[in-house]
């Protein structure tokens, strides 16, 4: 594949992530099919050797930050605090071991 194809695929992923996070911001958790689709695009990018996993993670985090103006962890903590602290289970494990929920 050519550099143009690489850039097109990465731009497509960026647009899809932006749309996904906008939907999450407006309506709450998005559908599983969209999540699976985005995961498939990211897997394709990795398989084709266009980006490494760490680079994809940074891209996803940047898309999240652009929409929510905070990191994923910060948003989960804010949601827990806004819900009256009912979701304190996020603090049950050390930060480095927490998985995205």
- Do 80 and 88 meet the contact criterion of CB atoms below 8 Å apart? yes
For residue range 26-59, what is the model confidence (pLDDT) as tens digits? 888 878 899 999 999 999 999 999 999 999 999 9
For residue range 6-20, what is the model confidence (pLDDT) as tens digits? 899 999 999 999 999
Q: What is the pTM of this model?
A: 0.71
Q: Name, in order, each residue with C-beta under 8 angstroms of 101's C-beta and a sequence gap of 6 or more.
A: 76, 90
The dihedral through the CA atoms of 29, 25, 95, 16 has a sign that is positive
């Amino acid at each position: 594949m050519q550099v143009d194809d690489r850039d097109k695929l990465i731009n497509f992923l960026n647009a899809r992530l932006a749309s996904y996070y906008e939907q999450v911001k407006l309506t709450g958790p998005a559908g599983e099919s969209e999540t699976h689709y985005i995961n498939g695009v990211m897997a394709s990018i990795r398989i084709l050797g266009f980006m490494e996993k760490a680079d994809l993670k940074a891209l996803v985090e940047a898309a999240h930050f652009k929409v929510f103006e905070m990191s994923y962890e910060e948003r989960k903590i804010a949601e827990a605090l806004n819900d009256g602290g009912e979701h304190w289970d996020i603090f049950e494990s050390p930060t480095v071991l927490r998985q995205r929920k």
